[in-house]
Structure formats: structure tokens, C-alpha cells
Structure 1
Amino acid sequence: MPYIETRDGTELYVKEWGDGRPVILIHGWPLSADSWDPVALALAESGFRAISYDRRGFGRSDQPFDGYDYDTLSDDLADVMDAMEADEDASLVGFSMGGGEVARYMSRHQGKGVVSTALVGSIVPFMLKTGDNPDGLPREQFDEMIDGIMQDKPAFFATFFKQFFGVGMLSSPVSQEVLDWAWGIANQSGLKPAVACVDAFGETDFRGDLSSFGVPTLVIHGTGDAIVPVQIARNAAANIAGAQLIEYDGAPHGLFVPERDRLIDDLLTFLGATHAGAPTTGAFQQV
């Protein structure tokens, strides 16, 4: 079943590897399900059923003009879970923008069928700097992203991914081939979806969704993240009951490449400890 149809008729590309308890992997902006491949493979080889999908507007999925708000995106997640019969004893893992789908699903869909969640480099709870959210980023930064995409999308993504993966003047935690791979995936996105999703992850306030988690939750974030400040993750962990926080010292936003093995180990440990909703006490220490 490479494609499923959502409630508004949008077709989403879905990948399913392995058997066992379902783990749904939600990718970040502006990538696709392929960014989860090493994690999905490790999950499948460890007895889980790894399900990942391309968000509407990205990768191999349809590119409708509308539907890039988080209510619709969380409905898409619910539709993927339903179509794949993965809405029982499931875990949700969201990277970056994908953390928003996790949070909104937990509130809008009452966390149906979910026994644990993980937020990796996530934009939850709130990215926009406001009077009551001093840890966010100014609106001007999101406007600059949109202007860059509108003026020269390929050039914008070429620069963006250097920051995304922590590439500096003298060192790089990833190869040029990884940068080229990410650039290629990003340019599969539609112009409207790419821009609309900047508004969505930049302005959506998930603080009201946090009380709906109600399941064991793991928060992972790099302290060297130049896209989503680590304080965002600290705020999420502080306001999700019982959440466990792991900080990767110096890791960039795209930590799933340079910190791949550690990420896989931490997720497998967490998912194993929360099998069928088992308690996680003592599994991790908050840092």
C-alpha cells in the first residue's frame, strides 16, 4: 500500500517496514519519509513495524493548494494510522515540524491508540517569539525564510541545509553527498507547501496541546541546534507530564545523520521500555 487517501482526497505516500508494534515516524520540513530510513530499518530489525509517510506537499505525496495547517496535518496522521491499521498500541515519533503533528494529534484526536511519543529536534511547544514566549524566534526570521524560498528556492535550500546539519567554515559533521541528498528531497516539495509550512510551524502555538499527551514521552534535542533553539525542547519537557529529556551536546538540528547510532539506541531503549505502555521510570535521566 504505497499510497493512502486522506479524508479530503489527498494521496499520501506511505512506507511500511517490519512487523510488530507500530511506530509512526513523522518527518521534518522540508524533507520526506526517506530521512527516517536508518531509524526505520533499525526499528524493523528490532521487531517493530516502522511506518513513515511523506507529508502532503512534500516528497511523493500530492501537493494540494490547501491543508497545511496543523489541524489538517494531524487529520492526515490519523488517516495514515487508520488506513495502515496502526491505531492501537502505537508510538508516534516526530522530528522538527513533525513534532507538531504529534502534539495536535494528541489533543485533536485524544491520543487515540497511542501508548508513547517522542519529539526529536521538535518545534513544540511554540516557535514564535511573543510577549509570553521570550524563547521563540522573531517573526522576521520566518519572513526571511519565505522571501528566500520565493526568490530562489534551490539556492535557499543549499544554504539552509548547511545550517541544518551544522556545517561550518572549517568542519562539517556530514558529507557533501548528504547535503546534496537533502537538497534533492527538499526540491521535490511544492512552492506553496514549502512556504505555507513555514507559517504553520512558525506561528502555531502548541502550549495548549501539551496537557493532552498523557503517555510516556521522550524529548531529544541537540544543544548546537541553529534552527530550533534547545530551550524550545526544555520548555516542552518541562510542560509535558513525566517527559524525559535527552540533550545531545553540540549536535545540530539534523542530528539524525551525525548522531544516527545514538538516536537509534535511545529510541529503541525508550520504545522497548514503553512496550504496551510499560512505565519508563529509571529508563532515562533528565538532563
Structure 2
Amino acid sequence: MSMLEVETDMLGRPVELYYEDVGYGFPVVLTNGWLLDHNMWEHQVADLLDKGCRVITYDRRGFGQSSQSQGSYNYNRFADDLALLLQGLDLNDVTLVGYSMGVGEVVRYMARHLGQRVGRLALVSGVAPSLVRSPTNPDGVDESVLEKMEADIRDDRYEFSSWFADQLFEGDGEPAVSDATKRWIQAQTRHVSTEGMLAGIQLCRETDFTEELRAIINIPSLVVHGSNDHLAPIAATGDRLAKALPDSVYRVYDDAPHGLFVTHAQELSSDLVELVKTPPNVTLPAARV
């Protein structure tokens, strides 16, 4: 449990990232999703440790226990913070795992920092290449949905967090998780700055990673998405992401919601372990779609 200083703000105060570094062996770095923090990965951390990995989780700036730095919530900053973390811990041949908003962070890192220190890549429930509806993404989320989310956050961010916890695990059948698990998710959202919450929506609105995905070449890559994802619909995100990375392995989890790190925890852990043990520039086994 440590803090890494990544810069100072305009008043000279340190901007720090909270991270946890546990275990020995193959290094795996996991980035958190929008509104969540490093705790979201507790199932995967335990499984990866059991398989001989060194696991590093951290909170994006403005999230969890990391600093809330005004006016600095953008993908360039996030990617630079990630670069400083990998450098500060002197990590090499890293399996880098992005989830949801964190997928954008990882893609920007690969393009902006040329994939330095990274040996394998996992993109889980991602918002890339883009989330919003457009001529090139007709299945994307409508602008009116984003506008309502922004209004609801400004009106009552805690009620919005309750809605988010529901949507994270929303499916077509019975509730996928217990009320206690939803409360666990809501507890994570309390530590996100309001500015960080709103910035995440704006980033989804204005960012398209199509060109940056071209930087991901000659590296074992895994794309994971749930077929029943209500927050990042698979046709708008996962399907297009896998197509943009033709050499990647694409795992579609049947009936899985956006929060598959909980509902399909063991399956995700198994796929991540399989990826970690893949030698560089070696093709993974055939996709399970």
C-alpha cells in the first residue's frame, strides 16, 4: 500500500497515485473502471496471486485514494500516470489489463508511450474504439443518455451511484449479484470526485481510439466483453474493438453484464492467467465466441 507522486499541481501540492503491489513473479497491472477503484479487482488479484503473479492495482487520479487534481482528467494525463507507475516500479514484460474506461487509458498508453514495458494486453468491457452513436458507430449510446447521466450526477451523485451499481450488473433475467455486492460498488463510487465523474462522460463523448489502436501490433492481446453489457453495448464496443485488433483473441461471455469482473470472475481470471503465461509474439488459442 503505497503512494507515487506523479506531479505537483498549480499550488505546488503533490499529485499522488495510490497503488498496491503484492506477490512475486509475472507482473500484472490492472486499471480501474469509471467510478470504481482498485478494489474492483479483488477476485482476480487473489486468483492471479495463486498462479504465481506479481499483481499491481492502482487508483486513477481523482478515484479511490489517489489525489483529486482539478482540471487534469484526460487520457493523456492518465496514460502518463501509468507510464510513471511502470517506470517507478521498474516493471518489464507487463501484462497490462484495462477495464471499461481503463481500456481507453491503456490504448492511449500504447500509442503515446509506444507500449514500453508491456508484453501482453487485455481489454475488458472496454469503451473503445468509441462509445457514443455516430455515423461510424450506429449501435453506440445516444447523446441524450449521456446528458441525462450528467444531469443526474449534478442533481444527486449518490442516487446516481445507486443507479450505476444496478446497471453494472443489469441482465435480462434474475439479479446477477446480491444487494451487498451493489453496496460494495457504491462504497467505491463515494471516493470519486464529482469533476472526475463528469470528466469520464465527456471523455466518452469526445474520444475515438480508432487510429490509436493501430499502435497495438505484435503483442499477445485479449479482448473480453459481455454479450449483455448495458453500459457499453457489445455491438458498439467489443465487436468493433476485436475487429480493429485482428490478431487478438476475442472472448464473448454469454449473458455477461458490464460488471463481469464479479459475475464471471472465475472465467475472467482463467483467461487472464492464460494470457500471462503466453510468451511474447505468440498467438493465443482460438477464440471462444
Under a length normalisation based on structure 1, what TM-score does the superposition of the two structures give?
0.94
Q: Percent identity?
A: 34
Contact 1:125 1:207 in 2 (8 A): yes
**1:116 and 2:120 are equivalent in the alignment:** yes
Partner amino acid for 2:203?
A
Deviations 1:200-224 (A, max 9, x none): 1332111111111111110011101
Moved more, 4-13 or 217-226: 4-13
Shift of 1:183: 0.5
Structure 2 match to 1:270: 275
Contact 2:129 2:208 in 1 (8 A): yes
Structure 1 match to 2:191: 188
Partner amino acid for 1:178?
T
C-alpha distance in 1, partners of 2:259/2:251?
15
C-alpha distance in 1, partners of 2:78/2:244?
23
Deviations 1:12-66 (A, max 9, x none): 1001111112111001010000101211121122111111101111111100112
Structure 1 match to 2:11: none
**1:126 and 2:130 are equivalent in the alignment:** yes
Shift of 1:278: 4.9
**1:158 and 2:159 are equivalent in the alignment:** no
SS of equivalent to 1:230: coil
**1:206 and 2:209 are equivalent in the alignment:** yes
Contact 2:86 2:117 in 1 (8 A): no
Under a length normalisation based on structure 2, what TM-score does the superposition of the two structures give?
0.94
Contact 1:154 1:187 in 2 (8 A): yes
**1:148 and 2:177 are equivalent in the alignment:** no
Contact 1:93 1:117 in 2 (8 A): yes
Shift of 1:255: 0.6
C-alpha distance in 1, partners of 2:263/2:136?
34
C-alpha distance in 2, partners of 1:132/1:252?
24
Contact 1:20 1:48 in 2 (8 A): yes
Where structure 2 has 5 or more consecutive residues not aligned to the other structure, the ranges are 9-13
**1:104 and 2:112 are equivalent in the alignment:** no
Deviations 1:93-127 (A, max 9, x none): 00100001110000000000111100110111111
Shift of 1:268: 0.8
Contact 1:128 1:202 in 2 (8 A): yes
Shift of 1:144: 1.1
Deviations 1:237-282 (A, max 9, x none): 111140111101111100111111111111111221x24x15124x
**1:62 and 2:67 are equivalent in the alignment:** yes
Paired residues in the alignment total 282
Contact 1:167 1:174 in 2 (8 A): no
Structure 2 match to 1:12: 17
Shift of 1:167: 5.9
Partner amino acid for 2:215?
S
SS of equivalent to 1:30: coil
